[in-house]
Structure 1
């Protein structure tokens, strides 16, 4: 088991990773946090005995066997230009839009570099994390937090990265149908409560991997029924094409 982990950039994803690794764990790893995101770092160090806040990013690197880089893309030079890594260390790159080749040039190291897409549900150990390339130590790390999906190259990695861009569109869909119910005279709190319960129950069906997503959709429809009506009149060919076009554009930007 990996014993010493450093995290540079302590935002929401870093917070989720620390919780996923430490919450309820009998053997939580030592985790060293950069001072960036001071409030979150202080909160985590107070909550978990194995978490420490370092004086600067170099101290994070010096104390860790595996370093997770979780700063925003626009902050990467400020955070990383002055640090020195050992070639035996492992770096996990969770920065959106920053490839491993660019990161290697910035760091000037022969250390192992792995890109990853940890999602907020990692704090509940329920998130599949895509990594590129697969690495035995990194794979084992993310197996502890819900599972790992290694992909062979960054072209494939970017497809999965584009998929994560659909998350808030899903929430906005739920907000839109809730607002429609309110316009029909339903109390806002009742509409919100019902929609949340409706889709939480639907989401649990995703655990059944014996059925494809298309089969799950079909199993929730009856010919001529309400679900079929909304799917075929709202989510029509033009709507599907618009979504595909949006994903194509995002993927082109990521590539």
Structure 2
């Protein structure tokens, strides 16, 4: 499936910045990109770094000039930004608006567009991101496969569940920080703790990817835990101490918030 040739972004925050940088990194995946003036600092930096970036004077110019429009807007202001715009029937629209359902988006758009929802992560800037999409759409999947890997969800429930799982990113880094803090409290300089933990966690992630879909994560946990050893001790303490239950409860609450 060929990529959209005219793609524009309404809303120029961190994820737009990451997507544009991923799309235009050499070799560029698209000939040019339109971005909105807001935020001025990010749009100006993108235009300075990539001659293929055109900063539009207003959002309607992006809708008029592109066959695919990415809505990268905070949910608090999404309706007031989207509703005045005039979209075309058949136009591709990719919504990155969090916690906002398709019925509301289609009502605000007011045209028979090809609407796909997506949850891109910052790693798309390095073409390493995995992005959940709903509903399946070949053109949108092709776009995000350039930026890493697209996971096409057949139902809204699948999409909402993956969106909830993506809320673990801060916890991942928080766990690393808490461990670094513990090491520092025991006398290890913080820079040495960070230098050790960041590559350790990175390689664990690579191990999970390399193992493939046929290997359960709990099997990898057992593989990395010698019977009666230290890894087994820590995971058992985490699990029996309520860590797994707290994680499930947190995900339940995020899922409830996302699914409405």
TM bucket normalised to smaller: over 0.9
Q: Following the alignment from structure 2 to structure 1, what is the Cα–Cα distance between the partners of residues 68 and 241?
A: 46
Question: 1: distance between equivalents of 2:143 and 2:194?
Answer: 37
2:232 aligned to 200, 225, 228, which one? 228
Match of 1:247 in 2: 251
Counterparts in 2 of 1:45-84, with a 5 A limit?
Answer: 45-84=47-86
Task: Tell me the distance in 1 between the aligned counterparts of 2:28 and 2:78.
Answer: 34
1:190 is displaced (CA, Å) by 1.3
- Does the C-alpha gap of structure 1 residues 173 and 27 become closer, same or farther in structure 2, counting only changes over 3 Å? closer
Maintained 8 Å contact 2:11/2:39: yes
Aligned 8 A contact 2:71 2:94 in 1 = yes
Change (3 A) 1:225 1:27: closer
DSSP-derived class of the 2:88 partner = coil
Task: Quote the offset at 1:207 in angstroms.
Answer: 2.1
Root-mean-square deviation (CA), in Å? 1.3
Question: Distance in 1 between the 2:47 and 2:208 partners?
Answer: 35
Q: Which of 92, 95, 100 is the aligned partner of 1:93?
A: 95
1: CA distance, partners of 2:204 / 2:257:
32
In 2, distance between residues paired with 1:6 and 1:152? 26
Residue ranges of structure 1 left out of the alignment (5+ in a row): none
Q: How far is the alpha carbon of 1:26 from its aligned partner?
A: 4.5
Structure 1 26/17 Cα, relative in aligned 2: closer, same or farther at 3 Å? closer
Distance in 2 between residues matched to 1:205 and 1:76, nearest whole Å: 39
The residue matched to 2:76 in structure 1 has which SS? helix
- 1: CA distance between counterparts of 2:135 and 2:173? 31
Deviations 1:177-206 (A, max 9, x none): 110011111112112211122212222212
TM-score (norm 2): 0.94
Tell me which residue corresponds to 1:214.
Answer: 218
Tell me how far apart the structure 1 counterparts of residues 198 and 35 of structure 2 sit (CA, whole Å): 35
SS at match of 2:116: strand
Q: Aligned partners of 2:72 and 2:140: how far apart in 1? A: 15
Q: Is the 8 A contact 1:21 1:29 kept in 2?
A: no
Residue correspondences, number? 255
Aligned residue for 2:109?
107
2:15 matched residue in structure 1: 13
Q: Distance in 1 between matches of 2:140 and 2:238?
A: 42
Q: Is the 8 A contact 2:29 2:146 kept in 1?
A: no
User: Residue 134 of structure 2 contacts residue 152 of structure 2 at CA under 8 Å; is this kept in 1?
Assistant: yes
* Partner deviation per Cα, 1:2-21 (whole Å, 9 max, x = no partner): 21001000101001100111
* 1:152 match: 154
